[in-house]
A and B are shown apart, each in its own frame.
Chain A
Amino acid sequence: SQQGEEDPQALSIQEGENATMNCSYKTSINNLQWYRQNSGRGLVHLILIRSNEREKHSGRLRVTLDTSKKSSSLLITASRAADTASYFCATEGYGNNRLAFGKGNQVVVIP
């Protein structure tokens, strides 16, 4: 079964810097989604990118998808202390109606 795997696992940056996280998966996907989770709370949907898309933007977020390499990246520009959270990628395959989550990236933004 496919499963997103983020890399690196933990990232500590200064406020104002950019943060980049990567995610790889194993099988064909219909879409890939990124979520944020603050300290054991609920997951917040950030962005969905479909398999026929290569790049997507939402505010300070930029997501890329390379289906040939089965990988995605999430870039947070001009980070803020409020961006401190765990970030998960999740993949949805064709017709299997479920999200397969990676282990998550913990990002700490130091004010």
Chain B
Amino acid sequence: DSGVTQTPKHLITATGQRVTLRCSPRSGDLSVYWYQQSLDQGLQFLIQYYNGEERAKGNILERFSAQQFPDLHSELNLSSLELGDSALYFCASSAGDTYNEQFFGPGTRLTVL
């Protein structure tokens, strides 16, 4: 158990819908990262927050957004969902801003029908 929690574990929804994925980092960690894992793209970095502020952006679509709240939990919002958005979405946390081990949550499996 990494100490990172993600909810829900599974999510099934229809195209065009909007969903919110939630992540709680390990106690004391200030950074939260979001990654997407799909069969064709592999593991891709989406976005990082550090202590409430966006710190780095990766291959995140404009239809996706995230935020980190004062209690350091984070949410990833996915809207106008397409079939191709079906994937495993992982949250990870680390103590600092850079150059630290990242500890991953169990993931949310999103299926878009």
For chain A, residues 14 to 47, give those with C-beta under 8 angstroms from any C-beta of chain B: 30-31, 33, 35, 40-45
Establish whether residues B104 and A42, one from each chain, have CB atoms under 8 Å apart when the complex forms.
yes
Docked pose: A1 CA to B103 CA in angstroms? 23
Q: A68 an interface residue at 8 Å Cβ cutoff?
A: no
Docked pose: A50 CA to B100 CA in angstroms? 10
User: Which residues does chain A contribute within 8 Å of B103, judged by CB atoms?
Assistant: 45
Residues of chain A having any CB pair with chain B under 8 Å = 30-31, 33, 35, 40-45, 48, 50, 88, 90, 92, 95-104
Q: B2 an interface residue at 8 Å Cβ cutoff?
A: yes
Min distance, Cβ A5 to any Cβ of chain B, angstroms: 10
Interface string of B88-113 (1 = CB under 8 A from A): 10101000011101111111010000
Establish whether residues A98 and B104, one from each chain, have CB atoms under 8 Å apart when the complex forms.
no
User: Which residues does chain B contribute within 8 Å of A88, judged by CB atoms?
Assistant: 43
Docked pose: A41 CA to B6 CA in angstroms? 12
Given the known interface contacts A92-B98, A97-B97, the answer about A42 and B45 at a Cβ–Cβ threshold of 8 Å is no
Establish whether residues A41 and B101, one from each chain, have CB atoms under 8 Å apart when the complex forms.
no
Min distance, Cβ B65 to any Cβ of chain A, angstroms: 17
Docked pose: A61 CA to B90 CA in angstroms? 25
Docked pose: A45 CA to B88 CA in angstroms? 17
User: Which residues does chain A contribute within 8 Å of B102, judged by CB atoms?
Assistant: 33, 45, 99
Q: B42 an interface residue at 8 Å Cβ cutoff?
A: yes
Q: B14 an interface residue at 8 Å Cβ cutoff?
A: no
Establish whether residues A98 and B56, one from each chain, have CB atoms under 8 Å apart when the complex forms.
yes
Docked pose: A46 CA to B90 CA in angstroms? 17
